[in-house]
């Protein structure tokens, strides 16, 4: 049987395979280098990068749930200048496609980060985290308003020298509307989806489990919901959709591909096993061989109705 072709073209970017380590779960890559050869996976989306350093929220910031995890890290990061100076030199030499997750509290901050990243070699594209409050619009979250989503995407796209991927928030009534807004703003691809707003309370102390009371829920518990959202977005837009949410084993990833996702991101599973993206990748090749398929493209969007 001929070898399996796992390569894809994502927003004009060639990836050796469709498995990407999700932002916020894989650090800057260097933390995971000792566990596996980073060049094996399709790409790394480094943790969110802002115009200036952010220390993040006070602890407790993480809480394991029965089927996932609550987090309220607060987008802690070193800031774009330190990222370019201290993190990119290593990332340029790991042989892996690098995506940089970008966020801010205003359009201007997003653009500032992207313009600085534009000057750096070794970055394939940008992923916009739009699950952030817009301080110039009374704290309204970019990703919960179609107009703001479209405006922000257009503002960044007009200044970007690289493909722009928009990471949608699931905390909306109609995610397809937001997907269309991002596409109309010029997004080259979309990621579906970020974490779900959630909370937990300690019944012994009567206190919230995390300092900020609410946080983002991720992990296997959200997979059926994000899978539905991926399916809806694939039908709503023409740009590629990246599936994200609760992928821990190859069958989880296969569900997203069948729903139409062009690539997937592995996130919370990295906290349980730093080899998770690599294990999913190995399993994907075995799965395709077992099904007699020669290419990942033979799997994408092939759900039978």
Q: Which positions are catalytic? A: 132
- The b-or-e profile of 63-100 (16+ CB within 10 A means b, else e) is beeeebbbbbbebebbbbeebbeebbeebeebebbbbb
Q: List the structure tokens of 144.
A: 């919960």
Choose among 25, 68, 103: nearest CA to 198: 68
Q: Assign residue 211 a region (left: φ > 0; alpha: ψ between -120 and 50; beta: otherwise).
A: alpha
283 contact partners, CB below 8 Å, separation of at least 6: 249, 250, 253
Inter-residue contact 164 to 153 (CB < 8 Å): yes
Strands 19-21 and 43-49: parallel
Q: How many CA atoms lie within 13 A of 178 on its CB side?
A: 28
CA 23 to chain centre: 5
φ, ψ (nearest 5 deg) of residue 231: -60, -45
Cα dihedral 126/130/132/133 (nearest 10): 130
Give residue for tokens 């928009």: 166
Report the Cα–Cα distance between both ends of the chain, in Å, rounded: 29
């Amino acid at each position: 049987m001929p070898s399996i072709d796992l390569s894809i073209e994502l927003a004009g970017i060639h990836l050796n395979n469709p498995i990407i380590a999700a932002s916020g779960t894989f650090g800057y890559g260097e933390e995971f280098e000792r566990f596996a050869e980073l060049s094996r996976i399709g790409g790394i989306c480094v943790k969110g990068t802002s115009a200036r350093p952010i220390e993040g929220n006070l602890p407790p910031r993480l809480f394991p749930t029965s089927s996932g995890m609550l987090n309220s890290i607060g987008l802690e990061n070193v800031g774009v200048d330190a990222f370019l100076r201290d993190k990119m030199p290593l990332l340029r030499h790991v042989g892996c496609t690098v995506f940089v997750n970008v966020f801010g509290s205003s359009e201007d901050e997003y653009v500032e980060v992207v313009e600085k990243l534009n000057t750096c070699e070794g970055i394939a594209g940008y992923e916009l985290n739009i699950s952030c409050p817009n301080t110039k619009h009374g704290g309204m979250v970019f990703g919960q308003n179609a107009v703001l989503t479209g405006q922000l995407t257009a503002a960044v796209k007009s200044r970007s020298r690289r493909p722009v991927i928009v990471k949608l928030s699931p905390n909306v009534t109609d995610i397809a509307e937001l997907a269309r807004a991002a596409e109309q703003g010029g997004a080259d691809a979309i990621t579906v989806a970020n974490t779900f707003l959630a909370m937990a309370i300690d019944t012994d102390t009567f206190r919230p489990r995390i300092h900020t009371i609410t946080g983002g829920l991720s992990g296997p518990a959200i997979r059926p919901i994000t899978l539905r959202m991926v399916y809806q977005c694939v039908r709503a837009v023409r740009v590629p959709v990246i599936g994200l949410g609760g992928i821990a084993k190859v069958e989880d990833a296969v569900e997203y591909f069948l729903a139409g996702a062009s690539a997937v991101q592995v996130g919370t599973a990295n906290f349980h096993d730093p080899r998770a993206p690599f294990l999913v990748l190995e399993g994907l090749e075995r799965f395709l061989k077992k099904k007699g398929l020669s290419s990942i493209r033979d799997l994408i969007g092939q759900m039978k109705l």
